[in-house]
Structure 1
């Protein structure tokens, strides 16, 4: 049975797996997959936070079968599995992968989702919802879609009993600290103790925006903290104490892809 899984990244020291699914139901202008398709946490990709985007990354062409995903993760003796991507919940096999991992490995399964559809959470231990914007017009401009369904699904996820958090990308002059505060107010209307993470934007795609400064991130955290008890930030400059390698495709295959010549209008993964 084919899945939408196109990339498995692995942190050996923590036994944490990053399981990437292709396909999405919204089109974020700042989507990281415009810049790099394979896991941004890979050791080989860490420098890309500051790099200027040059063209668009090529879409993946290889995907894993269900049994291959499970066998690979069993072989890695995974303890934590992050279901991410683009949008993992679009894959009909996603709930069955989560169930198999619970059954075979007893993993802690974490789903990263935009909540545009209500996901099957029966075999997930935590959910992180990416809230792009609270203002509907801004959300539609940034993603191409209304956020009404997302804002309806957010409390549904909370009331399902699965521990949850939320995160938003801070984009100076666009999705700024004022919009962050409105998102925080919405989250607080569900529960003030929901963890909220503010991520610094880094340049991806053909956009005019710049990265926020550390002071701008701090200002957004301060604005959100007026309404929430657990607000954190990722500025992109924090040191990392563990390495991350690609298991599928292998590091050698990614090396070969980097060196391959571009064809017509197609860009390299690291273009």
Structure 2
């Protein structure tokens, strides 16, 4: 009998795992059977991209949840919320909507008048009242060092400018509890946000009517932890998880805890 080469076994095993993941993630934009799990929609914030959710998404997919990671344009709250709302409209069935950082401002507006959104999860995220902006909430409590870490603005059309975190400041400012080599790649691939977006007042407050959950790190240097705790309390959070020492990206450094909270919201 002809022996099967060990490398062939490895390749076939990897292929079967990949196909199983595709089968699980496939229904994310289509209807599932009655009683199926809600789709988890992940909205990244400033200075990040959809890959910042990879560790969380991996856990959710393995747990059987359809997952969609939105490519947040980072152009302005109303613009980005409208974009996200159109993504929601393309998904059939219930949704758990998750926002990181500035993404919290986006989901607070995108979920308005969206009955399919059953829960909101704020990950180191803003939950603004109408008239509040990311900038005003960051300055409500002392502690943010983001302004000192920003690179020179890059002028764009219509009088706005793109903002980046300096690559030599990114690790300690944004992701201090992430391995340095990984943080360097995050800095290289960061997506800019407009200065106008950070100063734009929110109009939507979906957290007032949709049950909300909050998780953040006590070592956050972008948004003061006191501000995050205050917003969670104001939103009457169903459950708030404060991760000791965690940076502004707990979805990267503490994906297990973040995924667990999302699953709690989904249930």
Structures share fold, TM-score greater than 0.5: no
- When normalised by structure 2's length, the TM-score is 0.37
Structure whose alpha-carbon radius of gyration is higher: 2
Q: TM-score if structure 1 supplies the norm length?
A: 0.37
Greater helix proportion: 2
